[in-house]
Amino acid sequence: MKRWSGVLFLFVAVSVCAQSTNATLSGTVLDPTGARLPNVQVTAQNTQTGVILTNITNEAGVYAFPSLQPGTYRVTAELSGFRAYVLNSLVVDVSARMTINISLELAVSQEAVEVTASELPLSTTTASIGGVINGRQLQDLPLPDRDALGLVLTQAGVLGDNFSGTRIGALNVTRDGINVMDQYINSGTATTIFNSIDDIEEVRVVTAPVDAEFGRGFGQVHSEP
């Protein structure tokens, strides 16, 4: 079955504006003495799609990618006189706020410095607290109607018709940033479209206040193809 590339949100507060599920990645590039390096070319390549984004550090040595699609990335940093820096297998989650500082070594050879993301103490900043239902769980856990939203009630902070202290009937449901809440039923996770587990591979449930860019609310659910 053809997969639907969509993103699904549940918010406590209703919002008619499209919301972004892209992540941000930023940091500072330093030399061996700890001084900040301007004019460093930093690239982020999505190894799944091949898309490459480039950013140049400013006078303070800061780089920023304000809108990265979720996926696995290869990050590089290059400046004449220094060894190239390569970070492999960086997993960028939905709506992640990541900070990675880079230290460049003086060039004594043409060999690049390569590391993998698992070796780094990555810093992520977000107001969101919750859990993730991955594609394996969506396929393996019992869902008689094959509705991905059926597992929302299994998450911590969700009990019966209570969603982290808020009545679940007050939730706002969007998919790919578009509101799909069934205004006629207006109850729980009822939507105007069917959210098949064949279309959605990851559901991220947030039961604490979300970042401002996602609007108001005490809970949300992201889904990622």
Strand 8-11 versus strand 172-175 pairing type:
antiparallel
Kindly list the distances between the CA atom of residue 41 and the CA atoms of 25, 94, 129, in Å, as whole numbers in the listed order.
Answer: 14, 25, 34
pLDDT digits (tens, 9 = 90+) for 190-218: 666 676 877 776 777 776 665 555 554 45
Residue 111, pLDDT score:
63
pLDDT digits (tens, 9 = 90+) for 36-87: 999 999 999 999 899 999 999 999 999 999 999 888 999 999 999 999 999 9
Considering Cα of 151, then 155, then 158, then 159, what sign does the dihedral take?
positive
Q: Above 50 in pLDDT, residue 13?
A: no
- The Cα–Cα gap between 181 and 14 comes to 9
Topology at the third CATH level for domain 8-20+128-224: Ferric Hydroxamate Uptake Protein; Chain A, domain 1 (2.170.130)
β-bridge mates for residue 99, sequence order: 26, 123
Domain boundary assignment for the chain: 8-20+128-224, 23-124
CATH class for domain 23-124? mainly beta
Alpha helices in the chain (DSSP H): 135-140
Strand 62-68 versus strand 23-30 pairing type:
antiparallel
